[in-house]
Copies of this chain bind each other. A is one copy, B any other.
């Protein structure tokens, strides 16, 4: 690592090697050459005399041994990266030199390679996402019955279960998965469309044979790994696709952010935590701290990720006519960032869910403190069953609840709500009956456990089954 100049933290700190490689120069330029091979081969197969089998063979033989320095020197001279790489490739392929890039425009290699990178990157993301889903499903199963305080407004509301709460994160991730699948259907090859997308040079080369040119488009796409090709394009593939890609990834960011913020709050409550490494230092000054650093990092990374779609929307919306270059520098940065951020976030998500900790004793302690309040809904229902008006009882209970709450806050007393209700003649129960109503608080969780089971069986299991082959070991070790 060069310590004298800025290093991108996504690479130096947060992401997987696999994702970093997809956005490298090596991957890009190697696949430019693969595009040129595909073009020449398809032209040859379709009977273009100028392109011989020997030329194709020569091109194929030189896909991987890129002479980077030659290309870089040429680019400094002519300020055009594609032409520079055509030149460098031509140096290594004297025979094929005249037909490299024949009939193509720069965006032939640039767009098709970009699309391929995104396709591959999306596959990595999908695999990581499925791992999180599997981890969380396992967690939900384990804790499906564990009653815990449910919160609305971050105020104790009614009990739910730890498992049920986590199905909500899972459901978010399933929606993300559906949008990944939708996006996979949108990523098509740009194919061989020529300048401004009219295929004019190709129809010239093939002497007006429209069928051959359509076939060339399809064939090239297939050779570089796509089963679909955009029906029409300008100079580039539609930038609208990038917007959808960014939104799909940002969706994962939003899901992860919600999970991470909740975990940071649970951490404060001491009821649930990310795994903690034995030697980790929480603070230089406060040795006792166990900070939820991974969740906090997820939060920050997700925030950045969620900020990216707007850039892509603006780029798509401001492309003039067949193409303008104001998309170049920003896409160069933001497509990589979007995938790298998602990679980093999912790596953290896997790391955390591999070993997420719950403290049942603390879960119970918090719940019991609020139990009399929790029971008010049940008491309200019971009053209605005894013929009381729901609205009137709601008001009676509200008044005593607020008063009991204030006693806790003002005087540090324990919760005296049941006593207060028993003493109120409008309430048709005595203290014993009221305590009976609370009974086993597990029942206050309603169908939480059943919902969890149903959800896992009906929604999650089929997905994990469908993608069984994608699941496997992902290295979620963090470097910092």
Rounded to whole Å, the gap between the CB of A11 and the closest CB of chain B is 5
Min CB gap A281→B, angstroms? 4
**Which residue of the partner chain B has the closest CB to A315?**
B303
Contact mask for chain A residues 148-187; partner B; CB cutoff 8 A; 1 contact, 0 none: 0011111111111000110110011001001100100010
Using a CB-CB cutoff of 8 Å, which residues 185-227 of chain A contact chain B?
Answer: 186, 194-205, 210, 213-214
Select from chain B the residue with minimum beta-carbon distance to A270: B409
Number of copies of chain A assembled together = 4
Contact with B along A52-86 (1 / 0, CB 8 A): 00000000000000001000000111111111001
**Quick check: is A378 within 8 A (CB to CB) of the other chain?**
yes
Residue A26 at the B interface, CB < 8 A? yes
A118 to B47, CA, bound (A): 55
Q: Which of A322-330, A427-435, A468-476 is near enough to bind chain B?
A: A322-330
Which of chain B's residues have a CB closer than 8 A to the CB of A308? 307
Closest to A202 in B: B446
| Mask of A326-344 contacts with B, CB within 8 angstroms, 1/0 | 1111111110100010000
Check A446–B8 contact: CB distance below 8 A.
no
A461 lies within 8 A of chain B by Cβ:
no
Contact between B284 and A83 (Cβ–Cβ < 8 Å)?
Answer: yes
- A24 with B5: in contact, given A78-B280, A286-B158 (CB under 8 Å)? yes
Stretch at the interface among A37-45, A122-130, A131-139, A242-250: A242-250
A26 and B9 form a contact (CB under 8 A): no
Q: Which of B182, B213, B334, B362 contacts A447 (CB 8 A)?
A: B213
Chain B neighbourhood of A265, CB < 8 A: 154, 265, 320-321
Contact B325 A198 (CB under 8 A): no
Could you tell me the distance in whole angstroms from the C-beta of A424 to the nearest C-beta in chain B?
13
Nearest B residue to A318 via CB reads B261
Query: How would residues 245 to 266 of chain A score, 1 for a CB under 8 Å from any chain B CB and 0 otherwise?
Result: 0010011011101100110110
Are A300 and B401 in contact, with the CB atoms below 8 A?
Answer: no
A414 in the interface (beta carbon within 8 A): no
Tell whether A152 pairs with B7 under 8 Å between CB atoms, given A106-B283, A300-B328. Answer: no
Which chain B residue has the least Cβ–Cβ distance from A205? B381
**Cβ B284 vs Cβ A86 within 8 A:** yes
A195–B244 CA distance with the chains assembled, in angstroms:
35
For A247, give its contact among B75, B194, B230, B309 (CB under 8 Å). B309
Contact across chains for A165 and B105 when beta carbons are under 8 A apart:
no
CB distance A361 to B238 under 8 Å? Answer: no
- Determine if A103 is an interface residue (Cβ-Cβ < 8 Å): yes
When chains A and B are docked, how far (Å) is the Cα of A296 from the Cα of B326? 4
| Residues A258 and B319 in contact, CB atoms below 8 Å apart | yes
Contact status B384-A98, CB under 8 Å: yes
A1-25 CB mask vs B (1 if < 8 Å, else 0) is 1111111111101100101110111
Inter-chain contact A197/B160, CB cutoff 8 Å: yes
A244–chain B nearest beta-carbon distance, Å: 7
A432-454 contacts to B, CB under 8 A, are: 443-448, 450-452, 454
Q: Whole-angstrom distance from the CB of A355 to the nearest CB of chain B? A: 15
Q: Which chain B residue has the least Cβ–Cβ distance from A235?
A: B152
Which residue of B20, B329, B395, B412 contacts A300 across the interface (Cβ within 8 Å)? B329
Which of B90, B150, B412, B458 is close to A362, meaning CB atoms less than 8 Å apart?
A: B412
* Residues of B close to A68: CB separation below 8 A: 3
The residue on B at minimum CB distance from A295 is B326
Are the CB atoms of A21 and B4 closer together than 8 Å?
yes
Q: Is A353 an interface position by the 8 A CB rule?
A: no
Are B258 and A451 touching (Cβ within 8 A)?
A: no
What's the nearest-Cβ distance from chain B to residue A238, in Å? 6
Docked Cα-Cα span, A285 to B397, in Å, equals 11
| Cα(A86)–Cα(B284), bound, Å | 9
Please state if A234 and B309 are interface contacts (CB–CB under 8 Å): no
In Å, the complex CA distance between A8 and B10 comes to 9
Q: A328 contacts B395, CB within 8 Å?
A: no
A276 to B79, CA, bound (A): 11
6 nearest interchain CB pairs? A288-B401, A200-B446, A287-B398, A257-B317, A198-B446, A150-B196
Could you pull out 7 A-B pairs where Cβ atoms are within 8 angstroms? Answer: A150-B198, A154-B321, A200-B446, A286-B376, A287-B394, A289-B373, A362-B408
Given contacts A150-B322, A318-B318, 16 further A-B contacts (CB under 8 A): A3-B24, A4-B26, A5-B24, A6-B336, A83-B391, A100-B390, A154-B267, A164-B197, A168-B322, A231-B458, A281-B398, A287-B376, A287-B397, A304-B329, A309-B310, A314-B314
